Amino acid sequence: LLRWEPVSSSPTPPACEDNDYFGYEILFQDLDRDGNGLVDIVELQEGLKNWGSSFGPNSENDIFKAGNTNEDSGLDFGEFLHYLKDHEKKMRLAFNSLDKNNDGIVETSEIIAALKSLGINISDAQAKKILQSIDSDGTMTIDWDEWKYYFLLHPATNIDEIARFWKHSTIIDIGESISIPDEFTEEEKHSGDWWRQLVAGGMAGAVARTCTAPFDRLKVMMQVHSLKSRRMRLIGGFEQMLKEGGIRSLWRGNGVNVFKIAPETALKIGAYEQYKKWLSFDGAKVGIIERFVSGSLAGATAQTCIYPMEVLKTRLALGTTGQYSGIIDCGKKLLKQEGVRTFFKGYIPNLLSILPYAGIDFAVYELLKNYWLEHHTAESVDPGIMILLGCSTLSHTCAQIATFPLTLIRTRMQVQEKGATTSMVHLIQEIYNNEGKRGFFRGLTPNIIKVLPAVCISCIVYEIVGQHLGLI
């Protein structure tokens, strides 16, 4: 993540290359706190903090790794100068990619166009606030000197990285499978970062789902067994599971829930890219509407292909000790006793929940993002990791609550045995007549409780795996 600080917190742009050298020398001396002629990682980290720069959790590592060519304990002035000159060339390319009309300045319209090409829609007022945070002379434009010194100690290398922090990343796994998939830049596709992100995201999702599996199983049990006349409480539900099958029973159904991550993610991303191609015309850039529609269709496609696993997960979660020996045994018994159609019970309410879930998730995230941009862009256009996590978590939670009645109906249809099938409409009427409006939200409490730990665990594991894979 990056932070665009007001230019007043950084050195005033010098007029010529000699002044550049002099300014870099002063900066180096300021960073070299102990005066030994080397800037070590601790001094660099402290220097970034003093500059008010919060470009990400490992910004000083990125700069140190890129600049420390002889791999010793610190950067000498020659290495520091070489890094800044090399970084300046990359920032020049980023500046030129923004300056579409090649007039030497960046205007609000060019900022809007650059972010729109990445799927980030901002208003003219928001673009002006971004521009004002970089513009040091009050001209309401950004020239090369302002741009260069604004990003002097920023580890980003191109405009995609500068804008990427506002992408709605799906590395946050809360156990739901119907959100719009993330997309990858051309650079990520060519560099191979896309598969590293998928591996890190998949492992993060697997660990997060496993850690929160007891809450997920309790949710399913409450959706099916908790009635108005016989309510299942949070603590009572856990006690019931432990009494029936011991501590291992808390993770019933988790195996298939983890197993389906890989095929579902691959199908969703592949379908998303294909739908985007079909919905774009004459090679035009894909707009925000096309992305949303493509994401919703991709979610529907992936869910259709892996839906039998959803049924298996529910049946295993509700199974008693010894009823099924595993995923394959459960599948065989369902096929023999109830036929192929049982693997698609509840498919319609599941399909109907995809569009509103994706729409609410997307709309709430955009609303929170735009609110932050409206009120804080003058100081910094980087929201920081906690704001991003908060926005994404809240948007997921709102989408979950809004679509939970359909989720409950899907679960109850999935557990209907052969000969006792009730249609979706009749089931809705039955729930409303017998349990009232609250009946549609049985199991919501454990579902909401698991969101925060799932988000935290997912992010921690993603960062650990990402470091091993060279992403972070």
Residue 146 lies in a domain: yes
For tokens 């729409």, name the residue. 359
Is 461 found in the same domain as 322?
yes
Q: Identify the CA nearest to 171 among candidates 469, 468, 470, 465.
A: 465
pLDDT at 172: 53
Q: Which residues of 114-139 are buried (b: 16+ CB within 10 A; e: fewer)?
A: bbeebbbebeeebbbbbbbbbbbeee
pLDDT score, position 290: 78
- Distances in Å between the alpha carbon of 335 and those of 276, 321, 343, 417? 36, 20, 8, 12
Lowest-pLDDT range of 125-129, 308-312, 333-337, 449-453? 125-129
Nearest-angstrom CA–CA distance, 189 and 179: 22
CB 288: neighbour CB atoms within 10 A?
Answer: 13
Residue at 27 is within a domain? yes
Please tell me whether residues 76 and 198 are part of one structural domain. no
Using the Cα atoms of residue 186, residue 191, residue 197 and residue 203 in order, give the sign of their dihedral. Answer: positive
Tracing tokens 């002889």 back to the chain, one arrives at 70
Q: Looking at the structure, do residues 433 and 342 belong to the same domain, yes or no?
A: yes
29 found inside a domain: yes
Residue 172 lies in a domain: no
**pLDDT tens digit sequence for 194-218:** 788 888 888 998 999 999 999 999 9
Residue 173 resides in a domain: no
Can you give the pLDDT at residue 8?
37
Range of the domain at 396: 186-469
Q: Output the six-digit token pair for 108.
A: 């609000």
Residue 120 shares a structural domain with residue 236: no
What would the pLDDT profile of 383-432 be if each residue is shown by its tens digit? 666 777 788 888 888 999 999 999 999 999 999 987 667 889 999 999 99
Q: What is the pLDDT of residues 308-328, one digit of tens each?
A: 999 999 999 999 999 999 999
Domain containing residue 283: CATH number: 1.50.40.10
Q: Quick one: 271 and 201 in the same domain? A: yes
Task: Say which CATH number the domain at 75 has.
Answer: 1.10.238.10
Confidence at residue 350, expressed as pLDDT on a 0 to 100 scale: 93
**Residues 426 and 289 placed together within one structural domain of the fold:** yes
- The reply to whether 157 and 230 lie within a common domain is no
Residues near 36 by Cβ (< 8 Å), separated by ≥ 6? Answer: 74
Amino acid at the residue 161: E
Number of domains, the chain: 2
* pLDDT at position 6: 34
pLDDT-based confidence at 246, cuts 50/70/90? very high
pLDDT band at 12 (very low <50, low <70, confident <90, very high): very low
Same domain, 141 and 233: no
What digits encode the pLDDT tens for the residues 346-364?
999 999 998 888 888 878 8
pLDDT band at residue 11, thresholds of 50, 70 and 90?
very low
Q: Which band of pLDDT confidence, cut at 50, 70 and 90, is reported for residue 282? A: low
Flag whether 83 is in a domain: yes
Q: Where do we find the tokens 């592949």?
A: 270
Classify each residue of 327-356 as buried b or exposed e, where b means 16 or more C-beta atoms within 10 Å of its C-beta. Answer: beebbeebeeebeeebbbbbbebbbebbbe
Min mean pLDDT across 51-60, 133-142, 221-230 is at 51-60
The reply to whether 377 and 311 lie within a common domain is yes
Residue 333: inside a domain: yes
DSSP string, 346-359: THHHHHHHHHHHHH
Asked whether residue 424 is domain-assigned, the answer is: yes
Residue 13's pLDDT band, with cuts at 50, 70 and 90, is very low
Residue 14 confidence (pLDDT): 41
Report pLDDT for 197: 82
The answer to which of 53-67, 298-312, 457-471 has the lowest mean pLDDT is 53-67
Instruction: Provide the pLDDT for residue 244.
Output: 93
pLDDT at 145 over 70: yes
Q: At residue 266, does pLDDT exceed 90?
A: no
pLDDT at 54: 46
Q: Are 126 and 274 in a shared domain?
A: no
Pick from 119, 138, 166: which residue ends a domain?
Answer: 166
For residues 110 and 204, membership in a common domain is answered with no
Average pLDDT, the chain: 81
What is the C-alpha to C-alpha distance for residues 472 and 467, in angstroms, rounded to an integer? 5
DSSP state of 106: E
Is the model's pLDDT at 445 over the cut of 80?
yes
How would residue 335 be classed by pLDDT, with cut points 50, 70 and 90?
A: very high
> Comparing C-alpha atoms, which of 22, 15, 24 is closest to residue 143?
15
Average pLDDT estimate for 95-112:
87
Q: Check pLDDT > 70 for residue 281.
A: no
Question: Do both 102 and 202 map to the same domain?
Answer: no
Which of the residue ranges 109-113, 174-178, 350-354 would you say has the lowest mean pLDDT?
A: 174-178
